[in-house]
Structure 1
Amino acid sequence: MADKSFLDWPFFDDHHRSLAHDLDVWAKQEIAPLEEAAHENQAAVDALCGTILGRLAAAGWLRYVVPKAHGGMFDTLDVRSLCLIRETLARHSGLADFVFAMQGLGSGTISLFGSPDLQARYLPEVAKGKKVAAFALSEPDAGSDVAAMRTTATPISDGYLVNGEKTWISNGGIADFYTLFARTGEAPGARGISAFVVDAQTPGLSIAERIPVIAPHPLARLSFKDMMVPQENRLHEAGSGFKAAMATLDIFRSTVGAAALGFARRALEESSHRVTNRHLFGAPMAALQLVQAQIADMALDIDASALLIYRAAWTKDVKKTRVTREAAMAKLYATDHAQNSIDKAVQIFGGLGVRSGHPVEKLYREIRALRIYEGASEVQKLIIARQVLEQ
């Protein structure tokens, strides 16, 4: 059983502790059994995402990804709750974590910067699971370097004409709308980018490619050819898209670390059960000092990650300040060290650890992408260094 003692830390209120307990009980009943569902093709993965989304919505968990004014749980997004939900879901199912996370990330910029009309049109449907959200930022030559994006949104009399391409877009192909970032040209580099909400059925938008990845999730490459976006679908001021994207990531980067933490906790849970029940050389594996060292390293990295994650989340929620440095530290440390912990778990299980479908084998595939998306580990180091040097 995963360690829950961290819930006694002063970062949390009683409603956070209740949330973590109630979600864990629910996920065991409603989500864990779905891990046995087939993942052998994209259609099966898409269908499973729909099933998970429906269950999350019916149970009210999607209310945490939008503000109270539009059917949400709190007046503003509560980062500690988002982190606790992602950590708990990831411990039970990587795909369930993905589905929840994308409803939040895909609609987060609307929650932060959308007009009252846009918020009313999209956010209640997100909370009900009626609209699937996606976040379209990355391009073939502009992933970590967002300012290098080439997709353009050219102003016309009644809106914008969008041309270009986005790739590695989570929920691409199954989303009902995309939060899209494109170059509008108000200034060079990052200052000339704007954000828009684009419905999936908009003429000129097409799915150029569905992208298979090592942990089956819905991803796609999107193409835009003379796609018209109405003026009222722009988020915030023209040219402020980079700022809007970074403010959104300021919230959700900590939650990526939380998902990694959930994976790591599951790896430690599986490993602990293995070493106490598996015998080698006439004694439990747990009696071997080298095995004890592996377990100790995993436990240490998990607690260190949790401290960084919930420090960042608490600071955002309570202090109401930017947490660029704190969130970068949380994501960097938690994702890198979760991969280390999961690798140790695979080693502890030996041949079973690489058998397709085994829990630690699935963790091994799930964790890798977290060190890349929403800012690769190397980018997080640049962010941290710049923040420190500016101070």
Structure 2
Amino acid sequence: MTAFSLEPAQLAWCAELRTLAAERLRPLADKGEPGRVNRALVAELGGLGLLGRLFTSGALDLCLMRESLAYACTEAETALALQGLGAHPVHAYGTPAQRTRWLPGVTDGTAIAAFALSEPGAGSDAAALELRAEAEADASPGGRTAAGTALTAPAAGAPLTAAPDGAARWRLTGEKCWISNAPEADFYTVFARTTPGAGARGVTAFLVPADRPGLTGRGLDMLSPHPIGALGFDAVPVTADDVLGEVDRGFRVAMGTLNLFRPSVGAFAVGMAQAALDATLAHTAGRDAFGGKLKDLQTVAHQVAEMALRTEAARLMVHAAASAYDADDPDVPRRSAMAKLLATETAQYVVDMAVQLHGARALQRGHLLEHLYREVRAPRVYEGASEVQRGIIAKESYARQEAR
């Protein structure tokens, strides 16, 4: 298999996923409440074994899942993706105890995960985040006591108690904003500043259960139908056992997660673009206009051709980026940024053009394109806005040139 073609088994799996999404997931999504976690839908994703594949499959399989689900049920796609985004840091960087405690629930759909990176003043510039992780007096941020002895901490999720050996403990203070699945998630991957003034080098990732004292949240009324909220941290206690990866190396956790999920955001976008394109093909082939069918007008035919061209180009870019990730290619950051940028911008264009060719009917509440028009805007912003992706592409391209 290359990045430019799929095996028959993969194509059959994608078709099966589209059918599952339409027949089993779409009815559950329709029963959900906008802006709230649809636990029945998440549980069904777990029962179908799709959540488990988040941690056993490669990046290309993740992209195929997201595109196929998005084609028939964007809510199911997003529910699956958010479980992966929130829990991937635990899977990839967590301790055995952290993985044992949380990943089975994520896999079967009973534990809701969330990725808490963005802040009111630190969205695209993730290195500028200000949520403070202040070390308690009996421990240093570096993870050892003043005497240099090794640290110990209670089991993950246990209440904070005094430790005679000065185990590493912090208090999280500040705010996170625009966090998907907040405030209803069962646990959060939270990125906080452990070393002031150190930029990206002073950030630590913590696994924070939702029931920690001092952690509060509120929902935000957003254009997208999936849950998004803000979190408040009022001296929320965390310990060494809550650290994901290493102290002051949390930015690596964040970027490692985003490098995997950015191409799959592109796959989500491609799924929406394909759904809009197929709806347009059906509409223009059947719509009477000016003595013939709408598709017979050269202007319309050329617009549809452009939609098809861009959708296929975006799909190939997504597959190439995912294949590079699976091959551990050092060019992953550039390719991931390219895939997300091209696919999300393409989907915006294709859905907008589909609305234009459908006319007023596409703007009616409940129409597929009305739904896609609301869904397609957010991916150009989250997990790094389009402008951020262009910056990454330029930076990595110059670095490649200098290395030659």
TM-score, normalised relative to structure 1: 0.91
Does the 8 Å contact 2:115/2:180 carry over to 1? yes
Q: Which residue of 1 aligns with 2:47?
A: 58
Give yes or no for the alignment of 1:272 onto 2:252. Answer: no
Does the 8 Å contact 1:57/1:128 carry over to 2? yes
Change (3 A) 1:38 1:231: closer
Change (3 A) 1:236 1:8: closer
Give the Å deviation of 1:319: 3.8
The Cα offsets for residues 50-107 of structure 1, whole Å up to 9 and x where unpaired, read as: 12101111111111112xxxxxxx3xx4111110111011111221111000010001
Could you tell me how far apart the structure 2 residues matched to 1:371 and 1:79 are?
A: 20
Change (3 A) 1:294 1:35: farther
Unaligned runs of 5+ in 2: 139-166
Could you tell me how far apart the structure 2 residues matched to 1:301 and 1:318 are?
A: 26
Change (3 A) 1:163 1:186: closer
Could you tell me how far apart the structure 2 residues matched to 1:108 and 1:290 are?
A: 46
Could you tell me how far apart the structure 1 residues matched to 2:275 and 2:114 are?
A: 27
The amino acid that maps onto 2:353 is K
Q: Which residue of 2 aligns with 1:70?
A: none
- Correspondence for 1:226 among 210, 235, 255: 235
Change (3 A) 1:280 1:37: farther
Give yes or no for the alignment of 1:133 onto 2:113. Answer: yes
Could you tell me how far apart the structure 1 residues matched to 2:358 and 2:121 are?
A: 39
Give yes or no for the alignment of 1:376 onto 2:356. Answer: no
The amino acid that maps onto 2:46 is A
Could you tell me how far apart the structure 1 residues matched to 2:343 and 2:267 are?
A: 7
Does the 8 Å contact 2:3/2:323 carry over to 1? no
Does the 8 Å contact 2:188/2:210 carry over to 1? yes
Does the 8 Å contact 1:11/1:314 carry over to 2? no
Give the Å deviation of 1:15: 5.0
Give yes or no for the alignment of 1:110 onto 2:99. Answer: no
Does the 8 Å contact 1:170/1:219 carry over to 2? yes
The amino acid that maps onto 2:224 is A
Give yes or no for the alignment of 1:95 onto 2:104. Answer: no
Q: Is the partner of 2:119 in helix, strand or coil?
A: coil
Could you tell me how far apart the structure 1 residues matched to 2:366 and 2:277 are?
A: 18
Give yes or no for the alignment of 1:161 onto 2:161. Answer: no
The Cα offsets for residues 139-160 of structure 1, whole Å up to 9 and x where unpaired, read as: 0000001111110111224421
Could you tell me how far apart the structure 2 residues matched to 1:322 and 1:8 are?
A: 17
Could you tell me how far apart the structure 2 residues matched to 1:296 and 1:10 are?
A: 20
Does the 8 Å contact 1:186/1:239 carry over to 2? no
Q: Is the partner of 1:31 in helix, strand or coil?
A: helix
Of 19-28 and 105-114, more deviation after overlay is shown by 19-28
Of 16-25 and 267-276, more deviation after overlay is shown by 16-25
- Correspondence for 2:372 among 363, 368, 382: 363
Q: Is the partner of 1:180 in helix, strand or coil?
A: strand
Could you tell me how far apart the structure 2 residues matched to 1:30 and 1:320 are?
A: 37
TM-score, normalised relative to structure 2: 0.88
Q: Which residue of 1 aligns with 2:262?
A: 253
Could you tell me how far apart the structure 2 residues matched to 1:111 and 1:154 are?
A: 26
Does the 8 Å contact 1:19/1:81 carry over to 2? no
Does the 8 Å contact 1:110/1:119 carry over to 2? yes
| Cα root mean square deviation, aligned | 1.7
Give yes or no for the alignment of 1:23 onto 2:17. Answer: yes
Q: Which residue of 2 aligns with 1:315?
A: 324
Give the Å deviation of 1:355: 1.0
Could you tell me how far apart the structure 1 residues matched to 2:334 and 2:121 are?
A: 25
Between Structure 1 and Structure 2, whose CA radius of gyration is higher? 2
Q: Paired residues, what number?
A: 370
Fraction of identical pairs, as percent: 39
Could you tell me how far apart the structure 2 residues matched to 1:38 and 1:185 are?
A: 42
Change (3 A) 1:238 1:186: farther
Give the Å deviation of 1:276: 0.8
Of 49-58 and 339-348, more deviation after overlay is shown by 49-58
The Cα offsets for residues 18-37 of structure 1, whole Å up to 9 and x where unpaired, read as: 43132122112112334544
The amino acid that maps onto 1:96 is A
Structure (1 or 2) with the greater helix fraction:
1
- Correspondence for 1:296 among 302, 305, 321: 305
Q: Which residue of 1 aligns with 2:207?
A: 197
Change (3 A) 1:12 1:115: farther
Q: Is the partner of 2:376 in helix, strand or coil?
A: helix
Change (3 A) 1:35 1:238: closer
Does the 8 Å contact 1:264/1:341 carry over to 2? yes
Could you tell me how far apart the structure 2 residues matched to 1:349 and 1:171 are?
A: 33
Change (3 A) 1:11 1:178: farther
